[in-house]
Structure 1
Amino acid sequence: MSEDHGAAHLVPLLHRTLGDNILGVCLHGSAVLAGLRPHSDIDVLVVVRRSLTEDERRVLVRELMQVSGAPGVRPVELIVVVQDEVRPWRYPPVCDFLYGEWLREEYERGVLPEPGSTPDLAPLLTMTLAGDTALYGPSPAQLLDPVPLVDLRRAIVAGVPQLMADLDHDTRNVLLTFARIWTTLATDTIRSKDAAADWAVERLPSGHRAVLAHARAVYLGDVEERWDDGLRSGVRPCADFLVQVIGRAYERS
């Protein structure tokens, strides 16, 4: 894989804040699936020995806020897991710390990420193992257990209600994530968002194809992120259809 993943600056930052608690730092998401796209975050998983202290959480948030999304730097989504919480694997997994730009306002108010049950870790860990890209430490397979397919399936479906609630303000991402959920349930593989959209568009009724194709084009940077009246009116019907086929695919799996 190309080294142009934009994550090199994060390793020294993590060593400054977490020190020898770190067991490994791995990439996941777009960087390991199909390459970074114009709207891609840098997705990083950090595996640690023990849960972060309150001071470590505070310092790590402060450091990440200074670099994530700064001029010329991609936004960062960073997740920390305690190895003993995910190996041996059990469901639902526990996320010890989460940083994402959509939570910046909470961080600015002093809210710190706390440990919590996070089904979304199942696809994330699956992507990490498939991508096999360590920024520091051993390979992901030496740090993590594989996620059973049954747990991967129920984890991705568990997120559907929240995604639907986010449809109006995160339209592109929600539609593409629905396409990826459907693709994963049907093929047992996690594809990049644009590849999943390609697969789904071919299987959508003609009336829904333009909406998902537009979301894909925005993601790839081919068009601006504008939803005119014609496309906007088709967003919810397209999302409703995708949720229906996801439900049927899950029932069959």
Structure 2
Amino acid sequence: MPAPDARHLLLPLLHRTLPDTVLGIYLHGSATLGGLRLHSDLDLLVVVSRPTTRPQRRALVEELMKVSGPPGQRSRRPVELIVVVQDDVRPWRYPPTCDFLYGEWLREEYERGVTPAPEPSPDLAPLLTMVLLADAPLYGPPPADLLAPVPHADLRRAIVAGVPGLTGDLDTDTRNVLLTLARIWTTLATGAIRSKDAAADWALPRLPAEHRPVLAHARAVYLGDEAERWDGTLLSGVRPCAEFLVRAIEDEAQAA
């Protein structure tokens, strides 16, 4: 589902389920960092004027499950959609509050009837930074009109804070974890937020030779150039590669 379809499918859905509260809807992530790949989510941030109600959040879940699909499915691209209340993120404070989150990795919980609730989310620091840099409104004014800039110190703090949770998912979400670790390392070292494949391009020549095939495979799968298959020497190399990336992140964080 390319970006233009987001306007046709998701904008009416959002205005229908959140009437009179939507201030802005913004693309970010892969769609604005080099283009959507086979395994890319369609990432959207929605800024609203007041908190969502539980019935509204449940309605959003039900509607989004109809238009979002599992990663790698060509007919329905996975959607990651986050809602923030403007007063929760402007003026800026850390950690910011996420009012609503939809992502395909939570589908089983949604199907069991779980409804997302507002909660503090350090991950919003890099996300809001990407939204401001992308400046890609689907609805509403430029994002800088609604969002405060994230201090660089809070951006670094947030991405480092997410590392333990990432590594806990290494066995079940190998490709994404490896690419996200490379992305965190890249951002800490250069200050730039790159796409996952571009972050891998930056990291690969900086890895010891024994770790390069693992990250290269993760990159190739993300781009749709190879089938995802973690076995043999690749599988045995996953954890050592991840451990090297984590150490590199820790070194960059301590060097600041």
In the alignment, which residue of structure 2 is the partner of 1:206? 209
Asked whether the equivalents of residues 76 and 101 of structure 1 are also in contact (C-alpha less than 8 Å), the reply is yes
- What secondary structure does 1:227 align onto? coil
Between the aligned partners of 1:213 and 1:6, the Cα distance in structure 2 is: 31
Runs of 4+ deviating beyond 4 Å: none
In the alignment, which residue of structure 2 is the partner of 1:58? 58
- What secondary structure does 1:24 align onto? strand
- What secondary structure does 2:252 align onto? helix
Between the aligned partners of 2:67 and 2:13, the Cα distance in structure 1 is: 10
In the alignment, which residue of structure 1 is the partner of 2:13? 13
Asked whether the equivalents of residues 3 and 42 of structure 2 are also in contact (C-alpha less than 8 Å), the reply is no
Counterpart selection for 1:187 from 171, 187, 190:
190
Matches of residues 171-186 of structure 1 in structure 2 within 5 Å?
Answer: 171-186=174-189
Matches of residues 210-221 of structure 1 in structure 2 within 5 Å?
Answer: 210-221=213-224
Q: What is the TM-score normalised by the length of structure 2?
A: 0.96
Between the aligned partners of 1:164 and 1:51, the Cα distance in structure 2 is: 32
Between the aligned partners of 2:213 and 2:113, the Cα distance in structure 1 is: 42
Matched, 1:112 2:115: yes
Asked whether the equivalents of residues 6 and 74 of structure 1 are also in contact (C-alpha less than 8 Å), the reply is no
Between the aligned partners of 2:85 and 2:44, the Cα distance in structure 1 is: 14
Matched, 1:126 2:125: no
Shift of 1:63: 0.6
Percent identical residues:
71
Between the aligned partners of 1:204 and 1:6, the Cα distance in structure 2 is: 38
- What secondary structure does 2:20 align onto? helix
Q: Which segments of 5 or more consecutive residues in structure 2 lack a partner in the other structure?
A: none
Q: 1:175 to 1:6 in 2, by over 3 A?
A: farther
Asked whether the equivalents of residues 68 and 101 of structure 1 are also in contact (C-alpha less than 8 Å), the reply is yes
Q: What is the TM-score normalised by the length of structure 1?
A: 0.97
Matches of residues 1-253 of structure 1 in structure 2 within 5 Å?
Answer: 4-8=3-7, 9-69=9-69, 72-253=75-256
Shift of 1:158: 0.5
Asked whether the equivalents of residues 159 and 184 of structure 2 are also in contact (C-alpha less than 8 Å), the reply is yes
Asked whether the equivalents of residues 82 and 96 of structure 1 are also in contact (C-alpha less than 8 Å), the reply is yes
Asked whether the equivalents of residues 68 and 78 of structure 2 are also in contact (C-alpha less than 8 Å), the reply is yes
Shift of 1:66: 1.1
> Match for 2:57: what amino acid?
R
Shift of 1:73: 2.1
1:73-95 per-position Cα deviation (integer Å, ceiling 9, x unaligned): 21110000000000011110100
Q: Which segments of 5 or more consecutive residues in structure 1 lack a partner in the other structure?
A: none
Root-mean-square deviation (Å): 1.1
> Match for 1:95: what amino acid?
C
> Match for 2:234: what amino acid?
L
Between the aligned partners of 2:98 and 2:177, the Cα distance in structure 1 is: 22
Shift of 1:65: 0.8
Shift of 1:6: 3.8
- What secondary structure does 1:19 align onto? coil
